[in-house]
Structure 1
Amino acid sequence: MKRIYFDYAASTPVDPAVTAAMRPYFSKIFGNPSALHRFGQEASAAVFKARLGIAKSLGADYREIIFTGSATEANNLALRGAVKSFVYSQATAFRNQNIFAPAAKISSPSARWSRLSSGTKPSVSAGCSSKQSAFVQNFLQPKIIVSTIEHESILETCRDLEKDGIEVVYIPVSKDGIVDLKKIKTALDERTVLVSIMHANNEIGAIQPISAIAEVISNWKLVNRKKIPIFSCQLPVTSYPLFHTDAAQSFQYLDCRPENLGVDLMTLSAHKIYGPKGIGVLYARNWQMVNSDSGIKSQRTNYQLPITNYISPIITGSGQEFGLRSGTDNVPYIVGFAKAVELISNSRELENKRVGKLRDYFWRGFKKINSKIAVNGSMKERLPNNLNIYFPGNRAQELLIKLDLAGIAASLGAACSSRVSKTSYVLRAMGFSLDRASSSLRFSLGRQTAKRDIDYTIATLIKFLKIRR
């Protein structure tokens, strides 16, 4: 039986060259990269080389590359780490000013924003000065802005943060799956810690206008810089709101250089680009290039850098990854990630054209089956390997099983959600009916996809689709 794979958006096979690059680090160069002896130094050198390679592909500094255990962890570090640092920065500002009497102290930063979420302000002792009152009244409750179609590692993290009193604003999308820039602009205020909008959606392949969003945020900073509350002179006011994008799906196909996108934080995943599972990256702009006494100027940006780090670790321990992600570095997987990045950087343009032509050929084949078949999302602002197809009158789960029995792998949507058979929240957020969301399948192409695979799939679908002519 044929075996045809149309689920490259869920995961990709490890490239043989990646496997070969990783192999020595399982048994030959196996030392702990934190160790001082030669075995450790060899492993550490491999990590450093990999970090340099990934940084070069992004036009970044090697110290801006933070290795994590997955893209999900990188997303968590971006969101939770930014909120944690924002709250701690405020606590530091209060402490450094020494404005509170003992009775005014609150047990923890968590308690501070929990009180704010219930509509109360920290209290101060009788006889407080006007400066003390201003500090208290201007204590900022953290706020995050995300779209309604983000990956679940973003949305579920936001829902968890909401339980702790963090405000989250969910920006709607159009029928094409594109975020509303005007609503992002309206949602921005002095409490906004971070805006997180994915570069390209994992279900429908919709490419978001990241550079335009970055411009909206940058313009807001310029206009509102003087409106920051009194105590914010102690905070990295020129960094907030931070801008994060999840580029796990887009990195293989699009220009993801942070300087071009205008982002502060960016998530990458190895297993989406023919690398190993279990390794991710968080790009964090200039976070470590900070003078603890005064702000410094970046050589690559025009705005002043923060006087405190703008993300804090969520996994603590021995302080690996510049103190942002503790845990022994996974040397083989880090090496594999870097090799995968090298390979896609060398083949991106040609592969984009090849896969794009196959995708369009696939779409024409669907239309030949029946004109009622429709694509979900825009065919223009879309990753070249993605098709999300609506089959009216057919249950997607039934189609998926029939295709699988014929040796064809497709997907209901996000791989992380498919096993529980949930209706696509992405399609529902785009305004499509429950019936349409329940009758749609994702086909994502990759390096091994050939024209004959598409022909076989179309011929197979013709046999059992209820809408065939």
Structure 2
Amino acid sequence: MKKYYFDYAAGTPLDPRVEKAMKPYWSEKFGNPGALHWFGQEASAAVFRARDTIAKALGCNYREIIFTSSATESNNLALRGVIKNFKILRFQDCKIENDKKNNFAISNLQLAIKPKIIVSAIEHDSILETARDLERKGVEVIYLPVDKNGMVDLKKLKESLDERTILVSVMYANNEVGTIEPIFEIAKIISDFKKGKGESQKSKGKFDNLYPLPPTSYPLFHTDAVQAFNYLNCNVNDLGVDLMTLSAQKIYGPKGVGLLYVKGLGFRVKGLENQNKKNNLYPNPYTLYPLITGGSQQEYGLRGGTENVPAIAGFGKAVELVEQSRQKENKRLRKLQEYFLAKMKKIAPDAKLNGSPIGSNRISNNLNFYFLPDRGSGLGSAQDLMIKLDLAGFAVSPGAACTARTCRPSHVLKALGYSDERATGSLRFTFGRPTTKTEVDKLLKVIYNLLLK
């Protein structure tokens, strides 16, 4: 039986051109990129080329890219690394300030500021679970609500920003319902807040001597762009972000490699050591504190471990291919998306589309439907439909692959205001490069037959 894949939001097949770019580094070009001899430098050059290719696609400098093992690791590094670094810098700055006053004891009051982060309620679990863990460790976390389409509440964001806010993290495109968040507008809100904070800091306030970092350093803005890169402009300058997460396996690259863009990173990492030696009052706030230590020269000392050269080379090639085909592929997928929705309305008129209507606020490969149970079809739930589709050779998903086995209501659909029944009774259909109209028609026919039985 032939199999058909409609779960491209969970993972994509490895493009043969990407595999070709990776192949030499599995065998003959096997050197450790940290080694100084010819074999090592050959591998190091491959890492550099990939880093440079990706940096050009993002509109940044190659020194602002950190390679990781996954988007989950990148998201952890963004949240945990920023918070940990803030705490260390605050301790250093309080000590320096007190030393200048010949007061060598750092008071509990000076260290008592409770840092705050803001995340949207529909983030991937790698953000939400990390935020909850930080919350247990004393960080205040604000979960931004969303409307019925999945758009974050910008008014709530404005109200939540204050002097203690260290980081804001809002995903670019949602993995379950495909909603595109207004990243540029969020960046503008944060930028305006920073400017206002800088002006207010000129007069003394309750945070004097408690918050000695430059007033315009925080909050930083992070976006998880894993689902967005295939379809949307991810130029970091256009978006106004400080940190961005990407994954190779979502763009027809290999599994086991992700990245984190960090604004200004490469220009400041070396200078940070010199600044600290001079007891500079304002060490670099953009530098993350590493989660994995032990490789001082690897990824600017912020991610220890020998670089995964084949995967990184494949990542670079995958990004290059997306850049070449994004606009054309986006148009093709949008037509398939519109076609699928129109047909679904006819064969399953009771099915409800979750999230934003098709258009500028939804990525072009995503459709998520709620199927009413017990329509005389014998299907007790969307899970039943998913299983029957799988048995018929069609792979679809109830939501994020990372939580698909839990059978718990989708936190994304719950955040959109839907009931538990709807949050557990929905299926996600996502298209990709190999998806054709013929395959879509076959899927629609099987759904129609299953609903009639």
TM-score scaled by structure 2?
0.91
CA contact (8 A) 1:21 1:339 kept: yes
Gap change, CA 1:232 and 1:323, over 3 Å in 2: farther
Q: Which blocks of at least 5 consecutive residues in structure 1 are unaligned? A: 106-121, 124-135, 296-304
1:349 matches 2:327: yes
Cα offset, 1:98, TM superposition:
3.1
Alpha-carbon distance between aligned partners in 2 of 1:174 and 1:41, rounded to the nearest angstrom: 51
Alpha-carbon distance between aligned partners in 2 of 1:46 and 1:16, rounded to the nearest angstrom: 18
Match of 1:183 in 2: 156
CA contact (8 A) 2:264 2:286 kept: no
Q: Following superposition of structure 1 onto structure 2, how do residues 137-156 of structure 1 map, counting pairs within 5 Å?
A: 139-156=112-129
Alpha-carbon distance between aligned partners in 1 of 2:338 and 2:418, rounded to the nearest angstrom: 23
Alpha-carbon distance between aligned partners in 1 of 2:337 and 2:284, rounded to the nearest angstrom: 48
Match of 2:131 in 1: 158
1:449 matches 2:449: no
1:408 matches 2:381: no
Match of 2:223 in 1: 245
Match of 1:171 in 2: 144
Deviation readout 1:364-402 (Å, 9 max, x if unpaired): 111011322111011231000000011112511111100
Match of 2:77 in 1: 77
- Judge which range, 286-295 or 354-363, deviates more: 286-295
CA contact (8 A) 1:237 1:306 kept: no
Match of 2:213 in 1: 235
Deviation readout 1:286-323 (Å, 9 max, x if unpaired): 0232344779xxxxxxxxx9644442111111121011
Deviation readout 1:94-122 (Å, 9 max, x if unpaired): 111235999955xxxxxxxxxxxxxxxx5
Match of 1:56 in 2: 56
Cα offset, 1:326, TM superposition:
0.8
Alpha-carbon distance between aligned partners in 2 of 1:375 and 1:342, rounded to the nearest angstrom: 33
CA contact (8 A) 1:238 1:306 kept: no
1:418 matches 2:396: no
Match of 1:362 in 2: 340
TM-score scaled by structure 1?
0.88
Alpha-carbon distance between aligned partners in 2 of 1:173 and 1:327, rounded to the nearest angstrom: 38
User: Quick one: which amino acid aligns to residue 199 of structure 1?
Assistant: Y
Match of 1:130 in 2: none
Match of 2:449 in 1: 463
CA contact (8 A) 1:90 1:139 kept: no
Cα offset, 1:36, TM superposition:
0.7
Match of 2:65 in 1: 65
SS at match of 1:442: strand
Gap change, CA 1:22 and 1:137, over 3 Å in 2: closer
Match of 2:234 in 1: 256
Gap change, CA 1:455 and 1:308, over 3 Å in 2: closer
SS at match of 2:300: coil
Cα offset, 1:421, TM superposition:
1.9
SS at match of 1:363: helix
Alpha-carbon distance between aligned partners in 2 of 1:306 and 1:90, rounded to the nearest angstrom: 10
User: Quick one: which amino acid aligns to residue 326 of structure 1?
Assistant: G
What's the RMSD between the two structures over aligned residues?
A: 2.0
Alpha-carbon distance between aligned partners in 2 of 1:330 and 1:237, rounded to the nearest angstrom: 38
Match of 1:17 in 2: 17
Alpha-carbon distance between aligned partners in 2 of 1:445 and 1:19, rounded to the nearest angstrom: 21
Match of 1:387 in 2: 367
Match of 1:318 in 2: 295
Cα offset, 1:210, TM superposition:
0.3
Alpha-carbon distance between aligned partners in 1 of 2:338 and 2:5, rounded to the nearest angstrom: 17
CA contact (8 A) 1:33 1:328 kept: yes
User: Quick one: which amino acid aligns to residue 286 of structure 1?
Assistant: G
Cα offset, 1:464, TM superposition:
1.8
Alpha-carbon distance between aligned partners in 2 of 1:233 and 1:140, rounded to the nearest angstrom: 8
Cα offset, 1:233, TM superposition:
7.6
Among all aligned residue pairs of Structure 1 and Structure 2, give the percentage whose two residues are the same amino acid.
55
Alpha-carbon distance between aligned partners in 2 of 1:330 and 1:77, rounded to the nearest angstrom: 18
Gap change, CA 1:42 and 1:403, over 3 Å in 2: same
Match of 2:245 in 1: 267
SS at match of 2:267: coil
Match of 2:279 in 1: none
Alpha-carbon distance between aligned partners in 2 of 1:262 and 1:274, rounded to the nearest angstrom: 26
Alpha-carbon distance between aligned partners in 2 of 1:317 and 1:458, rounded to the nearest angstrom: 52
